[in-house]
Amino acid sequence: MSGRIADPAARAEALAAAFEAQGHEARAFAERIRGIATDAWRPENGARVVARAWTDPAYRARLLADGTAACAELGYEGAQGEYIVVLEDTPELHNVIVCTQCSCTAWPVLGLPPDWYKSPAYRARVARQPRRVLREMGLELPTGVRIRVWDTSAETRYLVLPLRPEGTEDWSEESLAAIVTREAMIGVAFVEAPAAWPQPRPPSRDAMPDQG
Per-residue pLDDT tens digits for 108-136: 999 988 999 999 999 999 999 999 999 99
Q: Is 103 a catalytic residue?
A: yes
Domain boundary assignment for the chain: 8-39, 43-186
pLDDT tens digits for 157-182? Answer: 999 999 999 999 999 999 999 999 99
Q: Is 99 a catalytic residue?
A: yes
Q: Which fold has domain 43-186?
A: Nitrile Hydratase; Chain A (3.90.330)
Given a contact cutoff of 8 angstroms between Cβ atoms, the answer to whether 160 and 64 are in contact is no
Q: Is 102 a catalytic residue?
A: yes
C-alpha to C-alpha distance for 151 and 197, rounded to whole angstroms: 24
Q: Which residue is catalytic, options 71, 104, 172, 175?
A: 104
* 205: confidence class by pLDDT, cuts 50, 70, 90: low
88: DSSP letter: E
Greatest C-alpha distance within the chain: 67
- Residue 161, by phi and psi: left (phi above 0), alpha (psi -120 to 50) or beta? beta
Enter the pTM of the model: 0.76
Q: Which residue is catalytic, options 102, 153, 172, 204?
A: 102
pLDDT tens digits for 51-66? Answer: 999 999 999 999 999 9
